[in-house]
Amino acid sequence: MRLLKTSTLLLCVGLSACSHFQSQGGAAPEQTASAAHWWWPFGKADEAAANAPVATPAAQPVAAKVAAAEQPAGGHWWWPFGASNAAAASAAAAPAQAAEQAPVPNVPVTKEWLDRYEKALRSAVAGSKFSVERRDNALALIAPADTSFNAKRHELLLPNTLGPLSKVAKLVQDDPQSGVVVLGHSDSSGNKADNDKLSLQRAQAVAAIFHLSGLGNDRLRFKGVGGDQPRADNKTAKGRALNRRVEVLLTSRGNLLALAQSK
């Protein structure tokens, strides 16, 4: 008896579902003819063309294929919506491209420039092991090597440096008139060739953060100087620790090349 009731219930549900499906199916052509789908923003004519059957390559004559290949595509290869839309997109993009290619005016490093960037730079690295120094034509962000790089793999940045460096990179990226010079330094102990190599690798590691944020080669320079520019006496352990560092010099974009060549 229970099995009979269950079978009857399933049959009723099945009949109701079929009836509902048929009523929906009858309304579908009318709905398609009256309005475009919500996911198709290019109008009913474009939708109809998109829904039209497409001939397979085997069914297309060779002459038709050649003619289709030779006729104007009507747009860039990355723009599949027709010539008029491609032209509109190109026209809209033209001002942005022109602005992107326009030369950036040189902004001198003045007291006002240093004041503005020093405040933002100190805020970006607050609470970290980095320090900020003000110089004649740049602001220097100093990353001590002993607290910024892995003790076993000396060229790898520690995770705690990524947050502050990313904030500084964002600060520079937001201003197209600024640029960065990254300098890697070592102490004088050990082999000079090894020190030069390590200082370059560390400069590259820091510069990579700025490059990943979108800074191009026209606004970013890096260099390893080894132990040629000590900050303290290499005869003491404290002095050697101060000399093992990476300096990020934030300056005006117009001053970038001159600053990089002077180091």
Could you give the domains of the chain?
111-262 (3.30.1330.60)
DSSP notation for 48-93 = HHHHS----TTTS-HHHHHHHHHS--SS-TT--S-HHHHHHHHHHH
The model's pTM: 0.61
* Order of strands across the sheet that contains 131-134: 131-134, 139-144, 245-252, 178-185, 220-224
- C-alpha distances (whole Å) from 235 to each of 60, 62, 130, 232, 238 are 82, 82, 24, 9, 9
Q: Please give the structure tokens belonging to residue 223.
A: 């260099």
Spatial neighbors of 152 by CB under 8 A, at least 6 apart, are none
Encode the chain (263 residues) as per-residue pLDDT tens digits: 444 444 444 444 444 444 443 444 444 433 433 333 333 333 444 444 434 444 444 444 444 433 343 343 433 323 233 344 334 434 434 443 443 444 555 667 889 999 999 999 999 999 999 999 999 889 999 999 999 999 999 999 999 999 999 999 999 999 999 999 999 999 999 999 999 999 999 999 999 999 999 999 899 999 999 999 999 999 999 999 999 999 999 999 888 888 888 88
Residue carrying the six token digits 């690295």: 125
On whether the CB atoms of residues 196 and 204 are closer than 8 A, the answer is no
